[in-house]
Each structure stands twice: as C-alpha cells, then as structure tokens.
Amino acid sequence: MAPALDVRKTTTRLSDGRELIYFDANTQPGREGPGRDAPDRTAPGRDLPDNTAPDRTALGRGAPDRRRLPSAEADCGLRYDPLLAAWVMYSAHRQDRSYLPAAAECPLCPSAVGRQTEIPASDYEVVVFQNRYPALADAAASGGETRGLLGSRAAAGRCEVICFTGEHDASFADLSPQRVRLVTEALIDRTAELSALRGVAQVFCFENRGREIGVTQPHPHGQIYAYPFVTPRTDRMLRSVRAYTRRTGRNLFDDVVAAERAAGARLVRTGRHWVAFVPHAARWPYELHCYPIRRVPDLASLLPAERAELADFQLDLLGRFSRLFAGPAPYVWGWHQAPARVGRDALALHLELFTPRRSDDKLKYLAGSESGMDAFANDIVPEQAAERLRRLG
Amino acid sequence: MAPALDVRKTTTRLSDGRELIYFDANTQPGREGPGRDAPDRTAPGRDLPDNTAPDRTALGRGAPDRRRLPSAEADCGLRYDPLLAAWVMYSAHRQDRSYLPAAAECPLCPSAVGRQTEIPASDYEVVVFQNRYPALADAAASGGETRGLLGSRAAAGRCEVICFTGEHDASFADLSPQRVRLVTEALIDRTAELSALRGVAQVFCFENRGREIGVTQPHPHGQIYAYPFVTPRTDRMLRSVRAYTRRTGRNLFDDVVAAERAAGARLVRTGRHWVAFVPHAARWPYELHCYPIRRVPDLASLLPAERAELADFQLDLLGRFSRLFAGPAPYVWGWHQAPARVGRDALALHLELFTPRRSDDKLKYLAGSESGMDAFANDIVPEQAAERLRRLG
C-alpha cells in the first residue's frame, strides 16, 4: 500500500499582510529522494521557522518579506447578471499587474540576498500565497452593495497562487511524482481551509499555461479561487445530476464514466484507480477528463494509493500534451470538486485538461457561436484526438 | 415616417450546389444614392438575373460559378454532453479552411474575368451564401446516430456567410446607413427562411472581427448559424425570464432595460427607438447591449422607423469601438432573437457587442475561471467603460 505523504506546513505573512504558506515534503533518506525539480539542498529542519539552512546566504522558511509593500487593499466586487443568473467578478486594480516579466524580475522565483520576490525564502518546494492582484477578496464592492434587479456585493472570497517549483524554466510535466503529490496535498489543505472561510461556497484549483491563453507569469504555478457562489458550470452539472437521479435513481457521473469505459474508443489511459478519456462531446481540440474509478466528492477523500497513482497520471497526461505539437501546447487544467456545502453526494471529483491548440500553428478561438451562444464547434473528432493521445504515451 | 427599404433578391447556385443570394437595394435616383461603400456602378436592372451591366467585362447577378468545385459534402455531426446538457458541433473538414489569405486571393471579394471567387458577380452590395466549411449542415453525423447517454446525431442545420460590401479593406463601421439597412434586411430574410427549415430551432446572426479572435478572412463579413437546438445561452435567458414572470408577472428584459435607463450611469446612447448601455454585470472589458425600446422578439418585427434608427446606432456604436484603442479593436456582435418555436413572447430582441481588448496592448483571455467554471472576472468597471464610450461619440 502506498504510504501517505508526510507534509510540513510553515505559515508566514508578506509585508502587506498577505498570507504565505510553504509546503515541504518530509522525505525519509534512502526511501524517496528529491526529484530532479528539487535539487539536493538540505531540507529545513522540523523545528522551523527560522534561518537554519547550512548555507549562510540562504533565506529560510522564516525569512521576512523586506519589501515594505503598501497594505493590500483589493478593490473587488461582485455583480449579478439577472438574465444569465450568474455573478461576475470585478477587480479594477488588476489592470496594473505585471505582464510576462523577464526571468531576472520573476516575482515567483525564490528570493536571493539583494533580490526580494513574492517568496521570501531562497528555495522552496511548493508555496502558496494570496494573490497580490486578486479577482476575489474580502473588500468593499466597487460601487457598494446594492439590492434589487441589478445587485452587487463585496467579493467575500480569496484568490491564491501556488508555485509548483522554484525552477523558473520548468513546467508541471517536469515535476517529480513526489512533487506532484506534494502539490496535491497543498491543494487539499487549501480547499479545506478556504472552504471553512465565512461566505466561501466553492474552491477551484487550476493551472493556466502558455502566453497564447494570456498567462502573465511564465514561472510554473497554478491558482486557487475560493468563490462566494457556486459557479455556473458546477450549478449546471449539479442540475443535470439531480434530474438524472430523479429519473433513474443513479448518479450521472457514474454512468458517464461507465459508458466511456464500455465504449473504449476515447479512452487514453486506464489505471488501477484512475481512468482518463477524451469525453464523447469534447469542446476543445484536445481535451481529457480524468476520474478516480471510486467516486469521491473531492481531493481530500482520495486514499493514499489513489493519490500516488494520480501523480503518475497527471505527469503522463501532461507529458502527452507537451508532445502533441512542435512547440509546447498552451493548456488549462482544473479540479472539479464538490462545493463546500451543496452537492457533496452528487458531484464527482475529476480533472479536466484541455488545450485550445488545434494544430502546430492554429488555435481554437471562442468566437461568435461560443461567446454569444455558448454553442461550441470543434474541428477534431474526439476518437481521433484520443487515438493521437494514446500514441503519445 | 421612414420608408421601408425596397430590396431585390437574386438567388443562384455555386458549382458545388451551395446556395448564393444577392441582396440589392432598389434606390430611386435622386432620393438616396449609393453610399461610399457602393461606388457609382450602374445597378443591375429589375429583370435580372443576366449579364446586363454596361461594362462588358462585368459579371452580373446571373454569372455562373466556373470553378467546378467538388460537390459540397460537409462531415458535420452533433454530440450531446449529458453533464452540461448541451450539444457540441463537430465538423472535421473545417481543419482545412483557408487562413488569412492575401487580398489577391480573397474568396469573399467579387469575381473578375480570370479570377473566380465565392461570389460569381463582379460587384455586389450584400451577398449571402452557404459556408463552404460549415459547422452545421444536413449531412451524416460523424460516427452515425447513437442514442442513450452519449448521444449523437446529424447536424440538421445550416451555416451561411454574409458579405457586407465588396470592398476588401472596409469594415462594418465604414458602411453607409443604407448599406447597414440592407444588411439588416438580409438578416431578416435569412432568419425567416432558415427558421422554416425542418429541424432548425434558432438562428443566430453575428460578426467576428479581428485576427486576435481567430477570424480567418479579413474581408468584412458576418455569419448566420441555424442551429437544430436552442442554444445554452438562450435556454438560460428563457429560464430566467420565465422564473421572473412567475414571480412578478412581468418580463425580465423589460425590467432590466428600465433599470438601466433609470440608473443612467451605464447608458452610452439613447435614441427615439433604441437604447445602448454597458450592462451592469458586463463580462468583457468593453461590452454594449442595444435594445429597441419597444420589446419585439426578432428583427422582422421592427418597424421601418426602428430599422432606420438602428442603422445609425450600429454605425455609431461600432465607430466608438474603433476609436477605443490605438489600433482597431477586435470585436464580436450578435443578434439575440427569439428561437423559431419557443420563447417568442419572452425573449427580447437585442444586439450584444463586445471587444476582448482591455488596453492598447492587452487582451482579456478566457482562462481557468471562465473556461473551467463559466465564472467571469472583468478588470474594467462598467461605469468607467460607459464613460469612455460616451466620450468617444
């Protein structure tokens, strides 16, 4: 049986009051060494935070943020669209965020003596911190709270950044399996902590990768959104699941996964605990959905053996994506977990991964039909996408 | 009172069997001359189609397509996503479509002797034809029809292209008011004809403009999709309207428009028959919704005076968009009309126009939160967007 990963968590604050958390794997020497993305630095001891790293120039887990940033006051608000029955997030301050900085100015790299980044330590494994330019934050709503048809309110949520590795030029597909497990443990921790915050309804963990889809920081990182509402996508899935259960007594996710396994033509990988397939009605040129075979509502419900196999799956699937085209494919992956307080017996945890790239030099854009009517057109037939992804294994 | 526009329609077939329709305005000499986008060519006579244009090298409305294209056999299909309760369109042949051709190879320019394009005539005002690379067509579904959880079927719809002018380098904002009226008459004609086709549930008329959003042909043109389903967006709006009517006895569109007019802060232009505003919960950096003050289900229901003022509004609003940034802003506009057979007393005709551009050098991308959860974040507060658009009038 796969052992649970032993994780040490060190919490600190940045100079503007934002929270930052280091996640370190306590490896047992001789059993599981650091991966290629975690060079053989002496890991900080258990009795931290302080500066106990043997290298005297190194900044430890307790190193302070010396930047004296002005206190974080995000101008975030929510507005309700009564026609689409959906909240929209506003964050006027985000227009100023940095855009594709050079590696020497990367704010997500570890700090060095004389160069302070968002992460005060001079190395890290996985680190999470509150986004300096959040789309959601507990702050005054733009224009104040209004009731009635055109309602608005404070954002009452939180946006966090998760860095997967200190290595600026790496990507998720380059991580070691142990590092991927550590990332998952961090996501589990954040999902639990953020779900417990007053007003948070749902937590979404995702990675955007590639400047073609607007990524402003090339350093390998993901994001964690704690929404004060159940998102439109999740609401629609829950609606479908409930209607199906009323009609059949069964869970729709169970039957979709069973139907994909029975059909076989779109399967890309089947493991002992996980299955990955191109969905029958994929919207994107290359899209993969990855489910645990045992239905669970969220990442926290996964057993150690499921978590261990998941790391292999994620690395394998992202590796296939990286080999699809001449250059690295831009992609988005996101974890669909049950909301904090509703649909916990209905929604099935799964990972969705897609690239908008449809060939070496062409992207799928969301134009009139998609942006105006939510009606997707896809040029690549799912069985062909699955066939290509199978061959890239 | 504004006179109705007198339109002459000439229908022909391309060499692969696709339908092509010329729409010409019958102007009365001395009253309303051709706009700057319609150079002073002698208009073809009323008793066409044939080659009666005085220039002997000109190709008239009856000119044949001499290309001998293979017969159009679109490989289109629909698949149902049971979790999102939505159909997705597949069209494997679209991967081959031409991409940003040079002006000399533009397939949407008029033909000339020795160079045959999609439009056989050597000039046109407005022309509509079946898309050579459609997302929807009456053809065998990819993989055939299947029932059950993972359903698929033939596409049973139609995609048409509408060219607004023969001038390759123009844009919609350059058209004359009369030409815009002719475009609207063509959209009305197509909405009626396509809605009458067996299996068509909804017609959507839209324009995508700008390579930033994936437009493959720079020649000024729009598109007309005849869907065999009510789109997810329209379905959601109808659901909201019905719930609101059950609760209040009123129409939600009426009350949203009244609330925007009463609030005033987001109004961009108010006319005698139309009103245009940035919606309270806009999703895009610059977004405008334009409603007739008298609620109607579709374009065909507009009176001549409403149609006349609409042309001014469209030109004015697109002109403001073209002045927002250093370069021309990419944009999408689309007409929300009631579906062919449902919601005709609920849905209010309106135009939605947006640009994903948020500054001279930055675009709004739909990344993790939008593409994964349909939860939109917008960096520009709607009142500020409205203020800028008001000043650009």
Torsions phi, psi of A158, nearest 5? -155, 145
Question: Given an 8 Å threshold on Cβ–Cβ distance, is A84 in contact with B233?
Answer: yes
At A213, the pLDDT band (50, 70, 90 cuts) reads confident
Residue pair A27/A3 in contact (Cβ under 8 Å)? The answer is no
Identify the pLDDT of residue A49.
41
- B353 to chain A: closest CA residue: A372
Average pLDDT over residues A15-26: 95
Enumerate the residues of chain A whose CB falls inside 8 A of the CB of residue B80. Answer: 281
Does residue B158 carry a pLDDT above 70? Answer: yes
How many Å apart are CA B333 and CA B320, to the nearest integer?
14
Q: What is the pLDDT of residue B147?
A: 75
- Could you give the residue ranges of the DSSP H alpha helices within chain B? 177-195, 232-248, 252-263, 304-322, 373, 382-391
Which residue is listed with tokens 């459609």? B134
Q: Chain B residue with minimal CA distance to A99?
A: B362
Which residue's entry shows tokens 């990819």? B142
Contacts (Cβ under 8 Å, ≥6 apart) of A246: none
A39 — pLDDT class (breaks 50, 70, 90): very low
CA distance B291 to chain A (A): 14
* Spatial separation of the C-alpha atoms in residues A54 and A264, rounded to whole Å: 54
With CA atoms as reference, report the closest residue to B88 among A148, A281, A99. A281
Task: List the single range of A100-109, B121-130, B372-381 with lowest mean pLDDT.
Answer: A100-109
Instruction: State whether B233 and A375 contact (CB < 8 Å).
Output: yes
Contact B84 A240 (CB under 8 A): yes
Q: From the CA of B109, how many Å to the nearest CA of chain A?
A: 22
Both tokens of B103, joined, read: 């002006």
Average pLDDT, chain B: 89
Burial class (CB in 10 A: 0-12, 13-18, 19+), A390: middle
How high is the pLDDT of residue B46? 38
- Asked if B389 contacts B331 with a C-beta cutoff of 8 angstroms, the reply is no
* A205 phi, psi to nearest 5 deg: -110, 125
Please list every residue in chain B whose beta carbon sits closer than 8 Å to the beta carbon of residue A369. 89, 135, 204, 206, 225
Residue B31: pLDDT band (50, 70, 90) is very low
> B84 and A236: CB-CB below 8 Å?
yes
Asked if A335 contacts A349 with a C-beta cutoff of 8 angstroms, the reply is yes
- Which chain B residues have a beta carbon less than 8 Å from that of A161? none
Q: Collapse the DSSP code of B105 into the 3-class scheme (helix H, G, I; strand E, B; otherwise coil) and give the result.
A: helix
Cβ pair B82:A379 closer than 8 A: no
Contacts for A262 with CB less than 8 Å, ≥ 6 apart: none
Residue B39: strand, helix, or coil: coil
What percentage of chain A carries pLDDT values higher than 90?
Answer: 71
Token pair in block for residue B75: 């490989």
- Round to whole Å and give the CA distance between B345 and B295: 10
Please answer whether residues B123 and B165 qualify as being in contact, where contact means their C-beta atoms are separated by less than 8 angstroms.
Answer: no
Selecting among A219, A221, A273, A350, the annotated active-site residue is: A221
What pLDDT band is residue B367 in, cutting at 50, 70 and 90? Answer: confident
CA distance A126 to A9: 10
Query: Which among A217, A371, A383, A384 is the top mutation candidate for probing chain B, defined by the most B β-carbons within 10 Å of its own β-carbon?
Result: A371
Residues of chain B contacting A86 with CB distance shorter than 8 Å: 281, 374-376
Q: How many angstroms separate the CA atoms of B64 and B78, rounded?
A: 33
Nearest to B236 among A84, A208, A252 (CB): A84
**Running DSSP on this structure, what letter comes out for residue A81?**
E
Angle between the N-to-C axes of helices A232-248 and A252-263, in degrees from 0 to 180, rounded to the nearest 10: 90
Residue A149 pLDDT exceeds 70? yes
CA atoms within 13 A on the CB side of A177: 13
The C-alpha atoms of residue B343 and residue B341 are separated, in whole angstroms, by 7
Two tokens, residue B58: 């000109």
pTM: predicted TM-score of the whole model, two decimal places: 0.90
What is the share, in percent, of chain A residues with pLDDT greater than 70? Answer: 88
Contacts of B86 in chain A (CB under 8 A): 281, 374-376
In this structure, what token pair is assigned to residue B363? 């675009």
Do B90 and A377 make contact, defined as CB atoms within 8 angstroms? Answer: yes
Mean pLDDT of B256-273: 98
pLDDT tens figures, B199-234: 899 999 999 999 888 888 899 999 999 999 999 999
Cβ distance B369 to A206 less than 8 Å, yes or no, reads yes
State the complex-level ipTM: 0.90
B227: chain A residues, CB-CB within 8 Å? 373, 375
Closest chain A residue by Cα to residue B79? A281
Residue of A nearest to B96 (CA): A379
**Substitution target from B242, B373, B380, B381 for chain A, most A beta carbons within 10 A:** B373
Predicted confidence at residue B34, as pLDDT, reads 41
Instruction: Give the tens place of pLDDT for each residue, B306-343.
Output: 999 999 999 999 999 999 999 889 999 999 999 999 99
The confidence band for B80, taking pLDDT boundaries of 50, 70 and 90, is: very high
Average pLDDT over residues A14-27: 93
| C-alpha span between B16 and B386 (Å, rounded) | 47
B302: closest CA of chain A, how far (Å) = 22
- Report the alpha-carbon distance of residue A103 to residue A109 in Å, rounded: 8
**Amino acid type, A239:** R
Over 60: is that where the pLDDT of B142 sits? Answer: no
Closest among B17, B6, B19 to B190, alpha carbons compared: B19
Cross-chain CB nearest to B283 (options A88, A231, A382): A88
Are B85 and A260 inside 8 Å of each other by CB? no
| Model pLDDT, residue B28 | 55
pLDDT one-digit tens code per residue, A268-281: 999 999 999 999 99
The rounded distance, in Å, linking the Cα atoms of B226 and B187 is 12
Q: Establish, for the pair of chains A and B, how many residue pairs have beta carbons separated by less than 8 Å.
A: 253
Give pLDDT tens digits for B117-131.
999 999 999 999 999
Distance CA(A194)–CA(A174), nearest Å, equals 28
Helical pair B232-248 and B252-263, crossing angle rounded to 10 deg: 90
Residues 6+ apart with CB under 8 A from B325: B357, B359, B360
Directed axis angle between helix A177-195 and helix A304-322, to 10°? 110
pLDDT (average), residues A128-155: 78
Q: Given a cut of 70, is residue B95 above it in pLDDT?
A: no
Q: Which residues of B touch A280 (CB under 8 A)?
A: 79, 81, 150, 152
Cβ contact B214–A372 (<8 Å)? no
What is the distance between the alpha carbons of residues B80 and A287, in angstroms, rounded to a whole number?
16
| Percentage above 90 pLDDT, chain B | 71
Say whether pLDDT at A102 is over 80: no
Does residue B32 have a pLDDT over 70?
no
Confidence of residue B52 (pLDDT cuts 50, 70, 90): very low
Classified as helix, coil or strand, A361 is coil
B221 belongs to the catalytic site: yes
Q: How far is B271 from A349, CA to CA, in rounded Å?
A: 51
Contact criterion met (CB < 8 Å) for B379 and A91:
yes
Strand-strand pairing, B86-91 and A377-378: parallel
Confidence of residue B1 (pLDDT cuts 50, 70, 90): low
| Mean pLDDT within B292-303 | 97
Q: Name every chain A residue with its beta carbon within 8 A of the beta carbon of B343.
A: none
Residue pLDDT, tens place only, A54-98 = 455 678 998 999 888 888 777 788 999 999 999 999 987 765 666
Model confidence over A323-371: pLDDT tens digits? 999 988 999 999 999 999 999 999 999 999 999 999 998 888 888 999 9
Reading the block at residue A72, the tokens are 């974080």
Taking residue B368's Cβ as centre, other Cβ atoms within 10 Å add up to 23
Catalytic residue among B221, B273, B289, B336: B221
Q: Quick check: B233 and A150 CB within 8 A?
A: no
Q: Name A205's bridge partners.
A: A224, A335
- What tokens appear for A8 in the block? 């040490």
pLDDT at B151: 87
Spell out the alpha helix ranges (H) of chain A. 177-195, 232-248, 252-263, 304-322, 373, 382-391
Residue-level pLDDT at B86:
96
Distance CA B75, CA A67 (A): 59
Q: Using the predicted structure, report yes or no on whether residue A146 has a pLDDT greater than 90.
A: no
Q: Strands A86-91 and A76-81, how do they pair?
A: antiparallel
